[in-house]
A and B are shown apart, each in its own frame.
Chain A
Amino acid sequence: MLKRLFSYLRPYRLQTVLAIVCIELEAAFELIIPMIMAGIIDVGVPTGNKAVIFQKGFQMVICAILALIFGVGSARFSAVIGQGLGAELRKAEYRKLQSFSFSNIDHFRASSLVTRLTSDVTAIQNSVSTGMRPACRAPFMMLLSLGLSFVMNWKLALVFCVAAPLLGVMLFLIVKNVRPLYGKMQGAVDLVNRIVQENLTAIRVVKAYVREDYETAKFEESNLSLRNTAQKAFGLAALNMPSMQLVMYATILCLLWIGGGLIRAGGMQVGELTGFLSYVLQVLNALMMISNVFMMLTRSLASCRRIVEVLDEEVDMTDDEAKEIEVTSGAIEFDHVFFKYRQEAPEYVLSDITVSIKAGETVGILGSTGSAKSTLVQLIPRLYDITSGSLTIDGHPVREYPMKHLRDAVGMVLQKNTLFSGTILDNLRWGKEDADEEEIRAVCSIACVDEFIGRLPKGYDTELGQGGAGLSGGQRQRLCIARALLKKPKILILDDSTSAVDTATDAKIREGLAAYLKDSTKLIIAQRVTSVMHADKILILDHGRIQAIGTHETLLKENAMYQELYHSQQEGVGL
């Protein structure tokens, strides 16, 4: 898994090599400088040669300067690759995310996708930036010290052969056992955060139902479990310091005892023993650093897994069957279409939908809440794939159109109309990137945007907050319609998109649409009968099935549901 992530370092190969070189060179000075220093004490002082002292001192200063240069270089390169890796990962994740179908997104949930793209990546890049130095330095120092100590006295060095593996095993056991605990802890953290988050968003509900105690009890349970798992995990992780000390101290004592014997037997010099001891400290310190790096990696492993999950998610909507065709006229044919959101769901959301819509027709769709009106129209631009049956546009199954062409030909105003932060003009240009002022004015007049745009402080350049904050529901809906019109789509779908607009404007928009998109197929979902009564065809959906198809006149005569709907809304209109 780590290998998989690190493959994203490829563009930074050079910097990676440079970072490693800098770190190793800097580490080398740690060993070189004391050697130069030895010259001062062993040569300079006994001979009383000031020149030697100054010369060695000068060499040391040069070394210090070089070490500084390499050190700063290693910091710089480590930062570049850590942040570079993060940027590459985010880019890869975002690209993947864009290709996700909605069932993919539901699988992860939107909020979790955001964390996977931000905090998880941050965790990884931080461990790279901080872990680089110890991870490269420690093995180098360890091997070098180990080698030098063997050269110095191989018999004494055998102590390492016991100490190092012993410490290694201890650290390994700690890391191995701590890993699942960190996983558990992360789960507990997520639970606590979820409860807090829910309580913050739903604070009005909590207060209105006087459920503070209930929520506190719920929170307390998760808080306690977090505390327990965290104590276990951190408690175990904290064992690595004393284990390291235990082995280190034991080694020192063994060296003194064995070394003492060797010296008495004449097999070793005193100076060697002192030097040896400093190598011991180096080696064991290096081991400790390595275990710290592992510890850090273990903690970021959870983040790694969450990122890889996104990258490896199988996208279930592809262009595999696409041919180079484009929508020409916009005739839609549903033939025994069945649909459910998940394969394993027991019931179909849409069942046995058969309807044929000619190019240029206007079709109204009515139905109660949950009758799957929105689902039905979302199948047309392939926001979801049908489960069985066939759905064709101009005689070709929708799957055979490249998604880009298909969606270019279909203009859709969704029920939940989303506007994005930016100016009104920016939002309109989603429909057509290079739309000129005239085009924009034209669609805005059809969608009756021009009625209110003049009242906004900066007209088309008014900044909108996220989700179009600052506009009323009706204004947002009108903007969304204008945005869709800019596409000049072959098929236009309005999903309950004039519900907040007054009836007079609603009628005006409908008239404008009919003239502007004369040849386009128009599908209109509405709550108000008046919005669809002039359509060529009206579909009545009930629990995912077509209950009736007809015109206003025939339905009014024959269909009970339509009659009820019509009469319940009739009063007052036309007074």
Chain B
Amino acid sequence: MARYVGYKKPKNTKKTVLRLMHYLGSHKILLFLVAVLTAIGSLANIMGTYLLKPVVNNYILPGDIPGLLKMVLLMGLMYLAGVLATLGYNQLMVRMAQKVVSEIRHDLFVHTQSLPLSYFDAHTHGELMSRFTSDADTISEALNSSFTLLIQSGIIITGTIVMLVVLNWRLSLIVLFFMALMFLFIQFNSRRSHKYFTEQQNNLGSLSGFVEEMVTGQKVEKVFNHEAQDFDEFCRRNEALRKAGTRALSYSGMMIPTIVSLSYFNYAVSACMGGLFALANLIDIGSLTSYLVYVRQTAMPMNQFTQQMNFLLAALSGAERIFEMLDAEPETDEGTITLCKAEEQPDGTLTQCEPSRGVYAWKCPEADGGFRLVPLKGDVRFFDVVFGYTPEKKILNHINLYAKPGQKIAFVGSTGAGKTTIINLINRFYEIDSGTITYDGLDVRDIRKKDLRFSLSMVIQDTHLFTGTIADNIRYGRLDASDEDVRRAAKLASADSFIRRLPKGYDTMLYSDGGNLSQGQRQLLAIARAAIADPPVLILDEATSSVDTATERMIERGMDSLMEGRTVFVIAHRLSTVRNAKAILVLEHGEIIERGSHEELLEMKGRYYKLYTGQFELE
């Protein structure tokens, strides 16, 4: 892959390098070995060139065949060492690079999952994805080759400079001057190309955004015969990208030829001056010849050195972005109360027991080191809860609510009224600003998040399915569920009949978020997934919005029997979905404006009544 990433300077190079080194762990010694091997390889190379002259002058010219044989064997050994060293460091580096990068990816993945949802709200998926892809790739590439190439060219440059100074220090000033010039040019050029590459990247982003939008909206495009106009728009963006790309690459492509030409200038000036020096007897002709050979050798390592330096810097800034993400604060979890399987004794008390009887209890540690068991019932209360995604804008204002175990509570209200937010607070996807939420009388903040969420099943607005079979997706709710359980849950969610009509039934593979299913079918699967978990508390957030009313009724009957005696929260746009709830809460602008049963609310002739009779549209 061509590495055409313009680089941004890392902010804190030293710290980033240290952290990267940490990933090398026990391989730090190996890294040192790599450096040594690289040095051996490059020295073998330089020495080989250097030895040619004495071999020719001292052995070939006098015709000393045994001496020549000895020298050839000696050089052979040296070369062999060089080859083996090269082989060694290449292979070592490849393995190390992959190990480091795979560990970085692992840490990133694990950390990603511990991040709070607010982090995902603040960053786009594309942005987070690129940590795993392009940023990790640049690190891998840099470790793979840049590191050793950098050492190699560094050694060659130093070696050459030393040789030049030794041969004739006055003449070497010319070379040093040109080297400085090359260095400055490379710096200037890469800074400028970085600007152009950013421009190219932006154009590419705009183009792929367009293509993505058009591919997803292709039905509309076809229905409206809009192909020609879209093609024109595509061509416009494509052309802009082509222009930006050409600019960027013309510019960055100039680098090598310019360096080469500079080295020709260097060569020309050195040759002229060398000639004059020779006339003035400041240098003998033999030394001048080998001097000029070394001069010719300066350009390529210079070029390589700076290029690899830039790759390395790009990798470091990639690493910096990765570390930034790794440093993001994970979800806090100070809860100590855990969930355990319990058994009710004849005397009504609870004891902990291993095989599940479907009864759970909260295990609350006491100050004396013991614990007390609180039965899990699904009693959820909000006391004066205030919450906002940002401190400036409160979404919920002083919410008080009480869900008795076994009740079905429904939320009705416009988009943005705060229905989903309330639910996201129960399972602590977000932290409340003030007030208290209790669960079976315990503050939710005292319950370990894992256990809290385990006790709640959620079907959310946007159904997300995973690549895998339909059965796998349902089983996501309870990993050890049997095939029979899967089928039962599917039946409960009215999904069984459509699944059986699929070509491979429960073994049908789903790809890319279940793209081959209709929205309604995906919702049914999401409900089955929640049903199989058999949770004490169930949350349905617009779970049946794309399901027809008849099927919805069937699901409702199924879920009602499953959730008998347990708490259910329902959010729906469609009022038929919430009608049989025990309590319906009408939310507006983060406040509960009406509450009561369906009949009571109709009596009130307020907002709910208007909604129900179609006089008011939810937004």
Contact = CB atoms under 8 A, between A and B. Distances in A.
B106 A234 contact: no
B95 interface: yes
Interface residues of B, number: 166
A168 interface: no
A407 B477 contact: no
Contacts of B218: 100, 102, 105
Interface stretch (A90-98, A142-150, A549-557): A90-98
Interface string B379-409: 0000000000000000000000000000000
Contact of B102 (A54, A94, A224, A260): A224
A239 interface: yes
A79 B60 contact: no
Contacts of B110: 212, 216
Nearest to A432: B224
Going nearest first, the 3 A-B pairs with the smallest beta carbon separation are A71-B257, A503-B614, A75-B253
A257 B231 contact: no
B179 interface: no
A374 B216 CA distance: 17
A244 B12 CA distance: 39
Contacts of A208: 427, 453, 456-458, 460
A307 B453 CA distance: 44
A90 B238 contact: yes
Contact of B113 (A56, A216, A299, A368): A216
A325 interface: no
Given A64-B264, A256-B55, A572-B613, A238 B242 contact: no
Given A67-B257, A369-B521, A568-B576, A575 B512 contact: no
Interface stretch (A173-181, A327-335, A340-348, A387-395): A340-348
B435 interface: no
Contacts of B285: 41, 45-46
A209 B1 contact: no
Contacts of B52: 256, 274, 277
Given A117-B211, A208-B458, A500-B573, A370 B223 contact: no
Given A210-B454, A242-B90, A270-B56, A40 B275 contact: yes
A152 to B, nearest CB: 16
Given A83-B242, A270-B56, A573-B613, A67 B276 contact: no
Contact of B231 (A94, A261, A466): A94
A82 B200 CA distance: 14
Interface string A236-260: 0011011001100110110011011
B226 A368 contact: no
A235 B95 CA distance: 7
Interface stretch (A1-9, A106-114, A155-163, A516-524): A106-114
B145 to A, nearest CB: 8
Main SS of chain A's interface residues?
helix
A131 to B, nearest CB: 8
Main SS of chain B's interface residues?
helix
A54 B533 contact: no
A44 interface: yes
Interface string B45-82: 10010001001100111010100110110011001101
A122 B128 contact: no
Which one of B56, B521, B547 has the greatest number of beta carbons of chain A within 10 Å?
Answer: B56
Given A61-B265, A210-B450, A418-B216, 9 more contacts: A40-B271, A105-B215, A130-B2, A192-B132, A203-B113, A209-B533, A238-B94, A256-B75, A383-B222
Contacts of B498: 369-370
Contacts, number: 449
B294 interface: no
Contact of A568 (B215, B275, B520, B550): B550
Nearest to A407: B225
Interface string B99-116: 101100110011011100
Which one of B112, B222, B458, B529 has the greatest number of beta carbons of chain A within 10 Å?
Answer: B222
Given A41-B288, A410-B223, A200 B614 contact: no
Nearest to B116: A207
A416 B110 CA distance: 35
B460 A57 contact: no
A263 B521 CA distance: 86
B272 A201 contact: no
20 contacts: A45-B275, A63-B264, A75-B249, A75-B253, A114-B211, A117-B208, A129-B249, A204-B458, A208-B457, A224-B102, A234-B144, A245-B45, A249-B76, A299-B1, A374-B518, A474-B618, A474-B619, A501-B617, A564-B550, A565-B549
Nearest to B100: A227
A535 interface: no
Given A231-B98, A249-B79, A256 B120 contact: no
B578 interface: no
Interface in B506-529: 511-513, 515-516, 518-521, 524, 529
Contacts of B619: 472, 474-475
A127 interface: yes
Contacts of A505: 617
B256 to A, nearest CB: 7
B345 interface: no
Contact of B217 (A122, A246, A367, A418): A418
B91 interface: yes
Given A125-B245, A569-B549, A256 B68 contact: yes
B99 to A, nearest CB: 7
Contact of B615 (A231, A344, A473, A504): A504
Contacts of A430: 220, 224, 226
Which one of B109, B208, B458 has the greatest number of beta carbons of chain A within 10 Å?
Answer: B109
A199 B272 CA distance: 66
A364 interface: no
Contact of B464 (A76, A205, A506): A205
A37 B90 contact: no
A215 interface: yes
Nearest to A203: B120
Contacts of A33: 264, 267-268
Contact of A210 (B87, B215, B250, B453): B453
A71 B260 contact: yes
Contact of A123 (B1, B80, B551): B1
- Give the size range of A's interface with the partner: 35 or more
A357 to B, nearest CB: 19
A114 B207 CA distance: 10
A572 B612 contact: yes
Contacts of A204: 117, 429, 458, 460, 464
B234 interface: yes
A44 B292 CA distance: 15
Nearest to A100: B218
A444 interface: no
Contact of B614 (A71, A223, A527, A573): A573
Given A383-B223, A412-B223, A110 B515 contact: yes
Contacts of A207: 113, 117, 427, 429, 453
A407 B226 CA distance: 10
A502 B512 contact: no
Nearest to B464: A202
Contact of A109 (B2, B231, B512): B512
Contacts of A86: 242, 245
A453 interface: no
B482 interface: no
Interface string B267-300: 1110110111011000001001100100010000
A332 to B, nearest CB: 16
Given A75-B257, A193-B129, A216-B109, A41 B267 contact: no
Contacts of B560: none
B177 interface: no
A208 B141 CA distance: 37
Given A95-B231, A207-B117, A83 B245 contact: yes
A198 interface: yes
Which one of A192, A205, A210, A473 has the greatest number of beta carbons of chain B within 10 Å?
Answer: A205
